[in-house]
Homo-oligomer: A and B are copies of this chain.
Amino acid sequence: MPAPVTDSDAPADRVATSDPTGLHRVLDTSDGRRVLPQAAQRLDTRRELWPDEVRVRVETLNLDAASFRQLEGTHCVDGRHDGDAVRREVLEIVAERGKMQNPVTGSGGMLIGTVEEVGPESPLGLEVGDHIATLVSLSLTPLVIEDRLERWDGRSEQVPADGYAILFGRSIAARIPDDLEPGLSLAVMDVCGAPALTARLVQQYDAPVVAVIGGAGKSGSLSLAAARREGASRTVGVVPHEAEATLLRDAGLADDVVVADARDAIALRDAVESTGGLADITVVCVDVPGCEGGAILATAERGTVIFFSMATSFSAAALGAEGVAADVTMLVGNGYTPGHAAYAMQLLRESDGVRRLFERRL
């Protein structure tokens, strides 16, 4: 266990050695249990590095969709979004918690920045000056904002910011390719867990039918591309309205494109079934609550539902499946699969359709 590089301001009663999970920066001490940074109320944001850490100069924060939607909804009067109030709340959260974790959704996002200092024992293979995206959630990343987010109007998920963030021994970061616009790289890396896990699942079935709820979105379009690439016999993209259906049809990523409100369980089931039968694998990529029942009903017996939406309710999924006697496997969409960033970048480079959908959103 390495000793800290600088411990001049380390409280005497706290751990002085680092843990690859970042445990040494958790400040919660109320009940004596050791929680991980993601579950912590508050993180230690000191600039000084433990030997296995990396400090990153922040350039852009990318709030996750569920979190931003929640913040926007809270600060909305008469249908008008109050961007200043959203910005103030983000600043307050970061100041209070030492990380950007939406207290309601529990989610965070990710960031782009430049490596500022690398601890002598960091296993991440980064060098000072590297331009990177972090692939661990902001909800567990020590973060200090130094510019009051003055360049952000509080109206988009991408937040220009100056400040610093800390990566742990077991964090994940990826170098941003030189040939792609940084915003595009960030957008791809933000959701790269979805296509990687979809790909793994498709390989476990024999030419499955794959339905992606929210197929025209970022994680959705990549998941559709992954499904086709790994041998899906048929891919179905479900979108909420005709405008998105046109976009997805033009992108050419799905064999069938259908319109349905994913929160209407019966409508979703019927829409998927109408394409030639239920799905073997259903991937939920829409960040609105209440899609669990429909996703389960749209999935064939012994099929699998992968929930990538942070708006998923655990109990709604568990009890929803039981409630209709559905023998489906339900996966919590793990944002990490080895090689996920490179795989997603490859999908983007191979597919003009994916690229067009992403560039539209920048």
Interface residues of A (CB under 8 A from B): 19-23, 33-39, 105-108, 135-137, 139-140, 170-172, 193, 261, 263-267, 290, 292-293, 297, 307, 310, 312-338
Question: Which among B170, B313, B330 is the interface contact of A334 at CB below 8 angstroms?
Answer: B330
Asked whether, in the complex, the Cβ of A330 is within 8 Å of the Cβ of B327, the reply is: no
User: Distance in Å from the Cβ of A286 to the closest Cβ of chain B?
Assistant: 14
Residue ID in chain B nearest A110 by CB atoms:
B322
Q: B residues within 8 A CB of A33?
A: 261, 263-264, 267
**Contacts A265-B36, A290-B39; is A325 near B316 (CB within 8 Å)?**
no
**Contacts A39-B316, A313-B314, A315-B106; is A322 near B307 (CB within 8 Å)?**
no
Q: B residues within 8 A CB of A22?
A: 323
Question: Which among B23, B107, B320 is the interface contact of A38 at CB below 8 angstroms?
Answer: B320
Q: B residues within 8 A CB of A107?
A: 315, 319
Q: B residues within 8 A CB of A319?
A: 38, 106-108, 137, 139-140, 335
Asked whether, in the complex, the Cβ of A34 is within 8 Å of the Cβ of B266, the reply is: yes
Q: B residues within 8 A CB of A337?
A: 327
How far, in angstroms, from A334 to B332 measured CA to CA in the complex?
12
Question: Which among B19, B108, B322, B338 is the interface contact of A336 at CB below 8 angstroms?
Answer: B322
11 contacts between A and B (CB under 8 A): A35-B263, A36-B323, A38-B293, A38-B320, A137-B323, A193-B322, A318-B332, A318-B334, A319-B335, A321-B334, A327-B336
A contact patch SS: loop
How often does this chain occur in the complex, in copies? Answer: 2
Asked whether, in the complex, the Cβ of B293 is within 8 Å of the Cβ of A36, the reply is: yes
How far, in angstroms, from A290 to B34 measured CA to CA in the complex?
11
User: Distance in Å from the Cβ of A157 to the closest Cβ of chain B?
Assistant: 17
User: Distance in Å from the Cβ of A321 to the closest Cβ of chain B?
Assistant: 5
Question: Which among B137, B264, B317 is the interface contact of A332 at CB below 8 angstroms?
Answer: B317
Asked whether, in the complex, the Cβ of B315 is within 8 Å of the Cβ of A105, the reply is: yes
How far, in angstroms, from A331 to B305 measured CA to CA in the complex?
10
Q: B residues within 8 A CB of A336?
A: 321-322, 325-327
Q: B residues within 8 A CB of A327?
A: 334, 336-338
**Contacts A313-B106, A315-B105; is A35 near B320 (CB within 8 Å)?**
no
Asked whether, in the complex, the Cβ of A334 is within 8 Å of the Cβ of B328, the reply is: yes
User: Distance in Å from the Cβ of A72 to the closest Cβ of chain B?
Assistant: 18
Asked whether, in the complex, the Cβ of B330 is within 8 Å of the Cβ of A332, the reply is: yes
